[in-house]
């Protein structure tokens, strides 16, 4: 059931990314990449390259190849790390998701209440150093409550921030506010899972 959920998530994120980049048809290939990745990383990477090549060949476009590779890695391959965390235990997956959202929420309110110094104007004008400090504090408190070294939260907060800014870069380049309105004011799936996906890559090192 969880793999089915991840396949739907992969399709949804690929649909949003593909639409933003002008290659929405590639979304149908993302779940296949995810399933291949479950068997092995090597199959997953091979699937990304071969399916992206097929997609681009049918359109005879290098631009389509690059877009397809990006979409399939981000939406099709990266969710495998959520599968890996879930394989450890459901509790680990819950902790991962709550950590990412705790950092995001703490950053938002700290920035809203105290934010004055912009963090990355070109990427996300509303992000501030004060917001980052609030997210750092929220991440440290979360690690304290789950009995992990508090200072270990620092790199994980920065990884969550990197996931957020990575997504923001794409949005700024294509000129959109959110990837979709699927989740109302919270935007689309890519908007909600950006930090979660990046943090999931490194969660196994805890």
Residues 65 and 95 in one domain: no
Claim to verify: residue 20 and residue 118 sit in the same structural domain: no
Q: The tokens of 13 are what?
A: 């994120």
**Residue 145 belongs to what H/E stretch?**
helix 129-145
Residue 116 in tokens: 């004055």
86 backbone dihedrals φ, ψ, rounded to 5°: -65, -30
- Residue 96 backbone dihedrals phi, psi, to 5 degrees: -60, -50
Shared domain check, 64 and 143: no
- What pLDDT is attached to residue 42? 95
Q: What is the pLDDT of residue 120?
A: 82
Beta partners for residue 142, in sequence order? none
| Residue 3 confidence (pLDDT) | 94
Residue owning tokens 């639409």:
19
pLDDT value of residue 84: 96
Last residue of a domain, one of 63, 82, 101: 82
Same structural domain, 107 and 182: yes
- Tokens 């593909």 — which residue? 18
Q: What is the pLDDT of residue 181?
A: 79
Q: What is the largest CA-CA distance in the chain?
A: 53
In angstroms, the CA 15 to CA 28 distance is: 8
Q: What is the mean pLDDT of each run of 10 residues along the chain (206 residues)?
A: 94 94 92 96 96 94 95 96 95 96 93 87 86 95 95 96 92 85 80 93 90
| Structural domain of 151 | 89-203
Residues 183 and 104 in one domain: yes
> Cα separation of 18 and 146, whole Å?
37
The domain boundary, picked from 24, 47, 82, lies at 82
pTM as predicted = 0.91
- The pLDDT value recorded for residue 115 is 80
Q: Are residues 98 and 172 in the same domain?
A: yes
Q: Given 82, 102, 130, which residue is the final one in a domain?
A: 82
One domain for residues 43 and 77: yes
Q: What pLDDT does residue 34 have? A: 97
């Amino acid at each position: 059931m969880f793999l089915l959920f991840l396949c739907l998530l992969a399709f949804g994120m690929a649909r949003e990314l593909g639409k933003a980049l002008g290659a929405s048809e590639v979304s149908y290939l993302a779940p296949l990449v995810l399933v291949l990745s479950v068997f092995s990383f090597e199959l997953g990477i091979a699937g990304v390259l071969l399916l992206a090549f097929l997609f681009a060949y049918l359109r005879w476009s290098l631009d389509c190849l690059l877009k397809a590779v990006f979409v399939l890695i981000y939406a099709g391959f990266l969710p495998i790390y959520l599968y890996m965390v879930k394989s450890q235990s459901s509790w680990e997956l819950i902790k991962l998701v709550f950590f990412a959202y705790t950092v995001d929420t703490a950053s938002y309110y700290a920035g809203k209440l105290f934010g004055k110094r912009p963090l990355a104007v070109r990427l996300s004008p509303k992000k501030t150093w004060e917001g980052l400090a609030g997210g750092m504090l929220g991440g440290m408190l979360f690690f304290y409550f789950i009995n992990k070294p508090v200072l270990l939260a620092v790199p994980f907060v920065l990884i969550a921030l990197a996931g957020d800014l990575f997504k923001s870069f794409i949005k700024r380049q294509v000129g959109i506010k959110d990837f979709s309105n699927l989740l109302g004011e919270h935007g689309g799936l890519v908007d909600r899972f950006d930090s979660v996906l990046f943090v999931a890559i490194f969660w196994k090192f805890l």
